[in-house]
Chains A and B, each alone.
Chain A
Amino acid sequence: MKYLLLILCFLNISLTISQELLLEAESFDDKGGWVVDPQFIEQMGSSYLQAHGMGVPVENAQTQVNFKNKGEYKVWVRTKNWVPGEWEAPGKFQIKVNGLVLENTLGLRSGWGWEYAGAVQITDKKNTLELVDLTGFNGRCDAVYFTTSNVEPPSSSKKLATWRKTVVMEPLAPKVTKKYDLVVVGGGIAGCAAAIAAAEQGLQVALIHDRPVLGGNASSEIRVHTLGIYGNFERILKKLDTEHYPNGSPEAHIDQIKRDNNVKSYDNISLFLNWRAYDAKAVENKINYVDARQTATGERLRFEAPLFVDSTGDGWIGFWAGAEFSYGRESVDEYGEEWKEHGELWSPKQPDNAVMGSSVLWRSFEADQVEDFPEVPWAMPVARDYAKVKGEWQWEFSRNDLHQIDDAEEIRDHMLRAIYGSFGNAKKLPENANRKLEWVSYLVGKRESRRLVGDYIFTLNDAKSGRTFPDGVVEETREVDVHYQTVLEDEKNPDFISEALFYETPKYYIPYRSLYSKNIDNLFMAGRNFSTSHIGLGGPRVMRTTGQMGAAVGFAASLCKKYDVNPRDIYTGYLEEYMDLIENQKYTPIPESKK
């Protein structure tokens, strides 16, 4: 069992000695039906446990807690009511200590912070702690804090971070450092392809991913099918991609097994599943290391390498290291990306912070018997009268006051309200009496966030003209497809439904120079955080294309190692060899036995 036992003795005002113990919920021994949610650590401070039961209370999470001292402890729980308002909080839960439910129901406060659960008399060393979900509607518990003092722990995020470090006495740096030739952060299709390409060229690769399964948006947890062409990398990308099933289909599980097995088959890929990077340190424009934390146990590791790939989607490694990045829509004149027919919906006269939104996919099925679904008044202000029994890619949310990274939890929660409310509306129709929710993702599938700036910024004009590049390593034929929220055209539309504008293009190419950072010398990027304009992203944001980016940087990394140079040097000094290597990927390698 991993928990943090603290017998911190400190002086309070009355000079008494208090006992305290902080237990991170995600480190519970048995999580029951609760799920670990590490998506919003940067915003709210930690992974947390969530009771994602689609309206049916989930099994208790439980763990053993060892106390050093007996006594009466006050129990505080870090949580939040995820939809405060004039209704009963949707995510209510309770705490049970040694089988006894503490007096206060939890999940009631607005905004992340501490709620008082009650007092408990601890008489033995070993104790059992349980989280009891009451609703099945996404109650959330970040941590449980036992204290003999009367002081409430701090709620404001600034104070909390300091408090947490003090309480757990965590050293500044991880104790263990691991060294690789290449560290790839983010195990979506791009990251996996980068890891495989580099590994095939003999590099020792670390692949760090914050979920238990690989694939990111294509994974069985989010279930977006892969689109785009294979370019030069069919062999590698076929190890990772999906069939063209409807988005949200359980067929994603089949491709999941294929993908995970394929990546795991490389001995020189060290796979760190359920590890989330939380820092990257650059000195003189060179990243020295990336630090990551196990999403459940809290264990930390430092990863050192001469080269790094940012395939986090959100451009976190670049962000921490100080890489130049962009976010939002450029003005129509910045790169000349006008499409008259769609005007402001396509590209605005003034730059703004609007971006394509995030999706949460879901589906239901016809049960053999009548199925009930609870009233969800807290969802109705979002869903209004919209009634549906499944959601596809059009279920997408973006709004100009919400940042796709900083406000991702609110975006995800807005989508959950849209889903539960719309399903609740559909359930009121006689034809849906037997309908039952089968699957609702709790992971937010993002389309667009930070875009790291490279030596070249790919734009619509490169796609429109089919411009070729001496370093064109990614190729695509798919239309440039940019989304907007339909509520912009009519306020009667739900604010969580989008529409796509498709700009037909000839075959187009992305240069290698869009795949490494302009100002961080040893940083590659692959995936939606590559160097592009907002409109430019519309085409190559799909996952076979981002997979091509990954493979391209994986091969580039192998030449960086061979010549002990940085990514830019491959373009300036080794381009011919690099392009030959890329070109050769079209052909199946001759097995060693037949050489």
Chain B
Amino acid sequence: MKIIIVTLLFCGLGLVWTPKKGMVKTIEYQHKMLTKKPEFFALQWQEGMALKKKSTPFFIEVETLGNQNVDILVNEQNRPVLYTADVCTPVCADGECRLMYLTLYWDLLGAYAGYDKVEGQVLTKHDHEEFLEQDYEKLHRLLLDDNSILKRKKIDELVSKPKEPLQDGVDAIAGATIEEVKESVVDGALYSCYVAWNIAHGPIKGELRDYTIANFDKEMKGYMLQSNEQDYQMYALGTLNEAEYLDHRDRIIQIFKEGIPLIRSYIVQNLPKLFWESDSLQMPFWESFATVDINSRSLLLNHIQQAPVEVAVLLGGNLEIMTKNQLKLYLSAIENEVMTNPDINAQLLRFAGSGTHTYAYVVAEFLEELE
């Protein structure tokens, strides 16, 4: 598969390719094995893991430098863990081009996962200054942002045209970058950042994702579901059928408890109907009510009519964390229980009379209208 990254950004502006002494056109694989966590890495790394490189049909074609292979890294059980490529690409600005060397990593869904420096090569910026440690870290943060401003702007939109003649330099910021860009990129290294981001987030991303999905099996599903990576969790959840929801319910409850709000919301919204028809299946979700985020609580409350009375009592002990509209939803659901269930009645009275809770008045008015 052919993926073309056009990195000679300024050819149209009359920039010329100026090869430097000692420059190589391709680089050898940096390592045959990956045995330690990449220096800049966003995923969890299992200590002792030794990943072996295997080739894939994918490569990144860098203009004038040819194809650069993308490999898959597999563990000892031959299970895919990451994708990687040793990238050498020209970065051109202000009439001069230099090579940038990086070993990039993508996760199994094609998202940028991290990078390593290439031995013997440093990244440089304005006036040939070498990247400082914080610059490497900033580059990593920038690459992690899949919604970066670099995504939707062309390079010439990112810089104001300078009035003065351009200075020579590897990666000079030719003209002032706009404020948002400045926050996003390594100071003095706009072009390097732009090129790196567009490789990491280029078409290769989708290709790798599709490759994983084409080879997605039960084992991979289990792996992703067990993983702490949010993208993996979300993807795996999206592939579950009703029976698998049941099979994996313990893990799903755990993700609901510990996951990010977006995934929790997805779980509540997509739990099969049978969970809401069974007291025992739905109870663990209600038990997390106090610790999950507000949006997830609201989505849970949409199911309160299907919940057993124990849930009404459980939530009655959590009135102080409910928002106004959540309280209203709860109260309308338990209207018929208030008079017959002394526990709920006592909880409402306690809350309404507390005097310190923001929405105590909502419960007080509710009780008043019941009388």
Contact = CB atoms under 8 A, between A and B. Distances in A.
A416 to B, nearest CB: 15
Contacts of B147: 499-502
Nearest to B293: A491
Contact of B270 (A84, A350, A487): A350
Interface in A86-100: 86
Interface in A311-361: 340-341, 343-345, 348-350, 352
Interface in B111-166: 146-147, 151-152
B269 A348 contact: yes
Contacts of A113: 361
B298 A491 contact: no
Interface residues of B, number: 34
Interface residues of B: mostly helix, strand, loop or mixed? helix
Given A487-B293, A489-B262, A501-B147, A401 B323 contact: yes
Contacts of B270: 349-350
Interface in A480-533: 487-491, 499-502, 504
Contacts of B293: 487, 491
Given A344-B234, A400-B295, A491 B269 contact: no
B294 A502 contact: no
A85 B265 contact: no
Contact of B298 (A348, A401, A500): A401
A86 B361 CA distance: 15
Interface in A78-128: 83-86, 109-111, 113
B360 A401 contact: no
B234 A343 contact: yes
A155 B365 CA distance: 10
A279 interface: no
Contacts of B323: 399, 401-402
Interface residues of A, number: 37
A110 B295 contact: no
Nearest to B231: A343
A261 interface: no
B269 A352 contact: yes
B361 A487 contact: no
B262 A488 contact: yes
Nearest to B201: A341
B152 A504 contact: yes
A156 interface: yes
Contacts of B146: 341
Contacts of A350: 269-270
A442 to B, nearest CB: 21
Contact of B358 (A84, A349, A401): A84
* Of A85, A109, A344, most B-chain CB atoms within 10 Å: A344
A261 to B, nearest CB: 33
Contacts of A72: none
Contacts of A86: 356
Contacts of B324: 407, 410
Contact of B266 (A109, A155, A349, A479): A349
A46 B103 CA distance: 63
Contact of A491 (B260, B362, B365): B260
B261 A407 contact: no
B326 interface: yes
Q: Which 3 A-B pairs have the closest CB atoms?
A: A401-B298, A110-B361, A350-B269
30 contacts: A85-B356, A110-B358, A111-B359, A111-B362, A111-B365, A155-B365, A156-B369, A341-B146, A344-B234, A344-B262, A344-B265, A349-B238, A349-B266, A349-B269, A352-B269, A399-B294, A399-B295, A400-B295, A401-B298, A401-B326, A402-B323, A402-B325, A407-B325, A410-B324, A479-B152, A487-B261, A488-B261, A488-B295, A491-B293, A502-B147
Given A111-B365, A402-B325, 11 more contacts: A110-B361, A340-B209, A345-B262, A349-B238, A349-B266, A399-B295, A401-B298, A401-B326, A407-B324, A488-B261, A504-B152
